[in-house]
Structure 1
Amino acid sequence: MKVSEVMTKDVITCRPSDPVDGVVKLMSEKDISGLPVVDGEKVVGMVTEADIMRLLVVPEPSRTLWMPSPLEVLIEIPLKEIIQLRRLQQSVKDAGGQNVGSIMQKDVLSISPDDDIEDAASAMVKHKVNRLVVLKDGKLVGIITRDDIIHGLGGSANT
């Protein structure tokens, strides 16, 4: 089975200059977990849920063995939790204003529409990615995801 038989042809894309919060909204509305980033007709990156989630990770202080006193239990621990919550809230606010170009993966894996889906599956497993852009003559013609491959295999099993 060829990639062209199972790929999504109407690809939802964004631009490097698009704000992250707008792309988050788009991904949520379209129920997708990643999309190609294009500059004109050229694919310049890929942005995924994982890229966005990395923006929200608040570095934790180093963990050392610490036995709080009763006073610390009443005062310091809740205060630390409040501080961590405020850092997370600030991270979310800061993340929304960034441009996609600052968080996207620039090394985009691609495949041809004429390749077999086995090649696509192999590339996804090897590179630990969930999707590949499909390029023909350097132009974006589709995207293929793990879900597309599974559905393609399921459909061919019934024929």
Structure 2
Amino acid sequence: MRVRDVMLAAPITTTPEETLESLLPRQLASRQATAAVLGPGDELVGVVGIHDILRKIIPLYVDLDEKLMEVMHEDYVEERLQRLKNTRVADLMTRRLDTVSPDDYVTKAAAIIVEHCRKTLPVIQDGKFIGMITRRSILEKIGPTLL
């Protein structure tokens, strides 16, 4: 089975200039945790996921010390999100990406997902972004054969 057989052909996309306030509702409505960030000519310049957004809201050091979590007031997350609403996608996105080709075997994509702890992999053909393969899209395709 090839990547083209399980990829999402119409994943959510964004631009580096779009703001979090504009992207987040679309991302949540699409039920896709990751959006492809496209530059000129549909060139993939990064991805932005729910994880990237949460990382900006909750500083990394907070989970290192449970006492810090207790100090945060009840509305901390909402206040941080409100302050970040005008943040551009370019300031949130991940730029270092693993990618696959539509002709790659699904096993290669699954191995990258597992080995590199990825949830999503962009699919690139002739230098252009054409879709995403996700953990879910793989399991939805092969899952019925297991049952």
1:2-151 equivalent positions in 2, closer than 5 A: 2-40=2-40, 41-57=42-58, 84-85=73-74, 87-151=76-140
Can you give the 5+ residue segments of structure 2 that lack an aligned partner in the other structure?
none
Question: Once the two structures are aligned, what percentage of the paired residues are identical?
Answer: 25
Can you list the C-alpha shifts for 1:7-47, whole angstroms capped at 9, x where unaligned? 11112200010001211111111111111101121100110
Can you give the 5+ residue segments of structure 1 that lack an aligned partner in the other structure?
65-76
8 Å Cα contact 2:18/2:88 also seen in 1: yes
Taking only aligned residues, the RMSD between alpha carbons, in angstroms, comes to 2.2
| TM-score (ref. length: structure 2) | 0.85
8 Å Cα contact 2:12/2:34 also seen in 1: no
| TM-score (ref. length: structure 1) | 0.79
Tell me by how many angstroms 1:93 deviates: 1.4
8 Å Cα contact 2:12/2:35 also seen in 1: yes
Aligned residue number for residue 142 of structure 2: 153
Aligned residue number for residue 68 of structure 1: none
4+ residue runs over 4 A deviation? 155-158
Tell me by how many angstroms 1:86 deviates: 5.6
Tell me by how many angstroms 1:56 deviates: 1.7
Query: In structure 1, what is the Cα distance between the partners aligned to 2:54 and 2:81?
Result: 10
